[in-house]
Copies of this chain bind each other. A is one copy, B any other.
Amino acid sequence: MKETIIIEKEKVKKLKNPAVVIGLPGIGLIGQVVSKYIAKELKAKKIAVLYSPHFPHQVLMTKRGTMRLIRNSFYLHRGKKRDLIILVGDIQAMSSQGQYEVAGKIIDYVSGLGVKKVISVGGYSTGTMVDKRKIFGLATNPERISKLKKYGILFGETKGSIVGAAGIIPSLAALKGMEGVAILGETHGGYVDTAAAREIVKLLSRYFDLTISLKRIDERAKKSEKIIKKLEDEIKKNLETAFGQQGQTVSYIR
């Protein structure tokens, strides 16, 4: 395998004004938690799988004794007014060249399905813990910002650069005439942030008019918030040790 490939599980026909939501592992694992949750709750159907030589040369072992390559998967949800493609993945490409190549393949594929809007989900690391997570947005088309603000997404409050797929995919999509948006959940950056993911699930439900129960993610978010609160307390007691343990719980393959 010389380059990234997408293997279609079925030919998808006539989509209604489709958009794609990209959720890959990254800061706070927010992107991956969101895309997995939405795809599952919507019972979206797997339509294609992406493999890449820019992913690690490892295969994942399952409990029943099977193995499979590391991959990104495309799911399709046929909605009332518009269809939604959801990209869920084990990992992001490991190098700059890999990131651009994989992004290009994703864009070509969804563009072929008629997608005009590419929304990536990620985290914006602040290094502090807050109770109410904000949601930040970046758009490739400035004229779309005012509409997105109505959903409570904050624009112009982030600085610097977005590293990885959450920035590259929508920005590269814009070169092909598509509209790109990055939705970034405010997060500490040092742990998996289900509460931030929850806010984005809620936002996307409203934005795409989806019927998604928040029950499961509410429970998970509460549980992880408790653990984090506990950690916060311990951090106050012993700063260095607590951070050390925390760091080990974050990993890009889940």
Interface residues of A (CB under 8 A from B): 1-3, 7, 51-61, 63-69, 93-97, 99-101, 103-104, 137-142, 145, 155-165, 167-168, 170-172, 174-175, 180, 182, 253
Contacts and interface: CB of A to CB of B under 8 A. Distances in A.
Contacts of A96: 53-57, 94
A61 B161 contact: yes
A93 to B, nearest CB: 8
B3 A162 contact: no
Copies of this chain, how many?
Answer: 4
Contact of A163 (B57, B65, B165, B174): B57
A137 B174 CA distance: 40
A192 B101 CA distance: 34
A193 to B, nearest CB: 20
A209 to B, nearest CB: 24
B59 A101 contact: no
A187 to B, nearest CB: 16
Nearest to A97: B53
A161 B60 CA distance: 4
A160 B7 CA distance: 25
Nearest to A95: B57
A162 B61 contact: yes
Contact of A59 (B142, B145, B161): B161
A57 B99 contact: yes
Contact of A67 (B56, B59, B162): B162
A68 B140 contact: yes
A167 B63 contact: no
A1 B67 contact: no
